[in-house]
Each structure stands twice: as C-alpha cells, then as structure tokens.
Amino acid sequence: MTDITVPTLGESITEATVGQWLKATGDAVKKDDVLVELETDKVSVEVSATEDGVLSEIIAKEGDTVEIGALLGKLSAGAGGAKAETAAAALPEHGGPKDPGGVPGKAEKGELTDVQVPTMGESVSEGTLSTFLKAPGDAVKKDETIAEIETDKVALEVPSPADGVLAELLVGEGDSVTPGSVIARISAGGSAPAAAPAAAAPAASASAPAATGERPVAPSVRRISAEAGVNPADIPGTGRDGRATKADALDYVNSAPKAAAAPAEAKAPRDIGPREERVRMTRLRQTIARRLKEAQDTAAMLTTFNDVDMTAIMALRKKHQEAFVAKHGIKLGFMSFFVKACVNALREVPAVNAEIDGQDIIYKNYYDIGVAVGTDKGLVVPVVRDSDDLSLAGIEKSIADLGKRARDGSLTIGDMQGGTFTISNGGIYGSLMSTPILNPPQSGVLGMHRIEQRPVAINGEVKIRPMMYLALSYDHRIVDGKEAVTFLVRVKEALEDPERMLLEV
C-alpha cells in the first residue's frame, strides 16, 4: 500500500484545496498518471501516481483544504493493477499476450528511461514546454538538451538522463508542466518503439476528463463564484484543459469591478488582417506585463529628476583604463560608479532601500542592486549581491557575468530574486529622459540616460560639458519627496566627485 500525499507546493504555500479527482476508487493506474489536482492561491498542481497499481481509497474529498504532507488517498498494487497490465498486453499493438514477437513492449517496459522536468527554482511550480529540440527516433547523448521550458522568469533546458533514442513525447509544445513530471522517454541503445507514439495518445486521454461540452468546475471555484455572485463559466481558465483554478477565480472576482468600468479591456480578441500576425506572448513577457501593471496599480509612484556632469568620471576612466584592464581583465565602465553612488545614497536615505509589507516597513541593511538587462525575450533584472562589499572591478565583473548569462538564457531564479534597489540604463539605447517603473516590492529605481554635450553655467561662465539626466522613480507611500530629492542629489554629488566617494570622505 502506497500513500498519496500532498507534495511541497512552493515557498510560503502551506495548504491547498482538492480540486478534482481524475481517477475513481478501484481504477487501475499507471506510474505518472495524474490522480488528483490541487489548487493553491497561485497555481494548480497535479499529483501523479508513483507506481502502477489500483486507487484503493480516496481520503481527501473534492473541496477539502489540505496541508503539505497530508494524506490524499492510498494506492495498492492489487489484482486490478495486474488485470490492467494484462489487458494492455493483449492489445494488438503490444504483440499479443506472451507473444515472442512483442519485443517492443518488452523494450518499452525494461529499457525506457523517463525524462523529467527539473526543479525550476524557488517559488516556481509551473512552466510551459516551449520547444522540443529532438524528435522521436533521434539519437541522444546523456546531458544533451532535449527540450526547453519557459517559466515566469527564465528559460530552462531539460537534459537527457541517458544515452539512447528518444522513444516518445508525452506532452506537446505549449503544454504546462510541473517539476518532476515526465515529458518524454528515452530508449536505451536501440530504435524508438513503433508503438510509442500510439501509446502516448491513450495515456494523455486517460488523465483528461471526458468531453461534456463544458469545462468541469472545481469546488473552490464554485464557492468563490457563488460568494461573488458571478457565473463560473465566465472565468477564463489557465488550468488543465482550460479549467479555471482557484487563482483564476480570485483574479476574476477581484478585477470584476474594473472590468465593468472598462468593458473594452475584456473584449474578445479581434480578427486580424492579411498583413498582421498574432503571436502568443511568452511567459516571461506575460510576467513583465503583469508586474509592471501591478507596480502602477499598487504603488504611489512618482519620479524626480536631476542631471549630472560626467566630466570627472570620464577623465578618471580615461586616465586609468589601461592599467585597470591589465590588472583586472575587464574594462572600467560607468555602471560600477553608479552602483557605488547608489549604495552610498541608500545608506543615507534607507527608505529608498526598504519595502512595504502590509502595514509594516521592512528596512534592509544590505545592498543587493538589480541591474536591468535587455534580452531578445524581454527585460530581466539580475542582482549584484552585497554591492557595498565589492570593489569597482568586482562590480564590473558581476555585471558582465550576469549580462552574458541573461542574453544566453542561463540565469537562474536565484540570480533575479531579492534585489533591494534597481538601476536601469536606457542610455545605451539612446534615451535622453524617461520615467522608469518600479520593480515590486522595491521602493526605488534609478534611470540612467545617454551622455550629451550641453552648455551649462559654471562659476558664471558657459561651458560645454558631458551631461546625463537622472530619474528616480519611487513609492511615495514610503519615500517622502524630500528623501527622494536628497537621494538623487547624493548620487549626483558622488558621481561629480568620484574620488571623495571612493575615499568615503
């Protein structure tokens, strides 16, 4: 007898609602068949069978609230499982029962290796299978990339667990997958089993609900809909087979007043013309859009401006660039000076380095500076950890490494979590001035812009100087106008006299 328990659901998630049992008591199941769906406030999680057998008992009913590790049901390797296996062996595509010619069936059972979705990182429990890089029948080597998965934050590569031939694909491109789920199988040392593609279809359909003309409604969705007085059929679903999850219902109910006030936002997708193309946003782009909109909706965002004379930094770089490269193996750029200047200003104005948590303010006594990097897939913000402890060379090396990994898609979730303040350099694209958007839950973001030769008055004389506009966007709920202006002035002073900044005088 094997216990079916609630798996770990992600950081800060301690309970879930039993959404729907896809198998009934007495049903024969195969290893990795989806037995039940759990719903949390954020995602829908599938619980699969860990071995072949029979679902002997269902303990947690649909609609029940369960905690991590709670018992959902019991799985036994009884006669029902043996009958199911015998019945499957009797099908013609398996070569008939005890048929010596049924080698493919034997190879499939004895030599197939599962390709599982790897852990996606802290708090990430679902992704989208974006691309298969190999097709059934292709030879693969151990650790060779078979597929790519996109999460809300990064792209992950799925390596082959063994040498062999890709026998079958169990999911399609665009399907949602969870850590540990099986997406394909490798046949060790041979050609792909002929029956593998046909076997994949029943496996997929077995876990899908029967077509009834309408989507099944989970108990949690039904309850939330009833309390809010909305039709559950109107809730757009992101779960399995388009079903609405608990999170979908909460999002729909919470946004209903806004949708009523602005019905144009909820209109159906329009028809496109012959010279137009409709492309679904990647998960990364969807997350960027959602987080930027959340920042505008939740924070009292305001932007203050200043400009900085870059003469001193440009002269310092020119004077020491050759020796800096010779010693450290990397060029001395502008960004390291800006990081140092921001750290000094954050020490003086700690509210810009803090965040709001409910009715509390969390002040952070460390300085993990996010540096916005543009990639082909969208904007990401990797974090330079403990920037206050790094030298200029250390900061430059960290930024160069993070930028390279951002562009080749090898950033991890941890590389982008926990930043306390962000710097965004629109100047590399030619921007003269902008109002950057906060990166929640941070309370401040500094926008850099292009350096431009401009006339300025210095000691009563007009001089031509390399000037840059600076923009600080901040959350006015926690940062007062005086603090924001003071912060930006301190950054300006440090950049215009970098020697004093570096000497900390």
pLDDT at 264 exceeding the cut of 60: no
Cite the beta strand spans of 86-154 per DSSP E: 112-116, 127-132, 139-140, 145-150
Are residues 274 and 228 part of one domain? yes
Residue 148 forms part of a structural domain: no
Task: Return the top range by mean pLDDT from 158-162, 376-380, 422-426.
Answer: 422-426
**pLDDT of amino acid 89:** 40
**pLDDT of amino acid 306:** 97
Beta bridge partners of 150: 128, 155
pTM assigned to the model: 0.53
* 7 touches 179 (CB < 8 A): no
Are residues 344 and 227 part of one domain? no
Is 480 tagged catalytic? yes
**pLDDT of amino acid 232:** 82
Lowest mean pLDDT among 88-102, 329-343, 364-378: 88-102
Per DSSP bridges, beta strands 182-187 and 355-357 are unpaired
Dihedral sign, CA of 395, 396, 397, 399? positive
Q: Give the mean pLDDT of 441-445.
A: 94
Beta carbons within 8 Å of 30's beta carbon, 6+ residues apart: 49, 52, 84, 203
The CATH number linked to 25 is 2.40.50.100
Containing H/E element for 55? strand 53-58
**pLDDT of amino acid 189:** 64
C-alpha distances (whole Å) from 322 to each of 327, 333, 456 are 9, 12, 30
pLDDT confidence bin for 327, thresholds 50/70/90: very high
* Domain assignment of residue 377, given as a range: 286-503
The phi and psi torsions of 64 (rounded to 5 degrees) equal -70, 145
Residue 180 forms part of a structural domain: no
pLDDT at 381 exceeding the cut of 80: yes
User: Catalytic one among 309, 386, 480, 497?
Assistant: 480
**pLDDT of amino acid 179:** 84
Are residues 399 and 368 part of one domain? yes
User: Catalytic one among 143, 389, 408, 476?
Assistant: 476
Q: Give the mean pLDDT of 83-93.
A: 40
**pLDDT of amino acid 461:** 95
> What average pLDDT is seen over the chain?
80
Angstrom distance (rounded) from CA 11 to CA 41: 12
Q: Give the mean pLDDT of 86-106.
A: 39
> What domain count does the chain have?
3
The share of the chain scoring above pLDDT 90, in percent, equals: 34
- 284 — alpha (psi -120 to 50), left (phi > 0) or beta? alpha
Decide which of 23, 58, 90 is a domain's last residue.
90
Are residues 303 and 269 part of one domain? no
Q: Give the mean pLDDT of 64-75.
A: 86
List pLDDT tens digits, range 234-246: 888 776 667 777 7
Decide which of 228, 245, 280 is a domain's last residue.
280
Is 497 tagged catalytic? no
Instruction: Give the max Cα distance, the chain.
Output: 100
Lowest mean pLDDT among 60-69, 236-245, 496-505: 236-245
**pLDDT of amino acid 261:** 43
* 48 touches 5 (CB < 8 A): no
Per DSSP bridges, beta strands 127-132 and 145-150 are antiparallel
Distance linking the first and last C-alpha atoms of the chain: 71
Q: Which has more pLDDT, 66 or 192?
A: 66
pLDDT confidence bin for 350, thresholds 50/70/90: very high
Beta carbons within 8 Å of 184's beta carbon, 6+ residues apart: 114, 115, 132, 146, 147, 166, 167, 168, 169, 170, 171
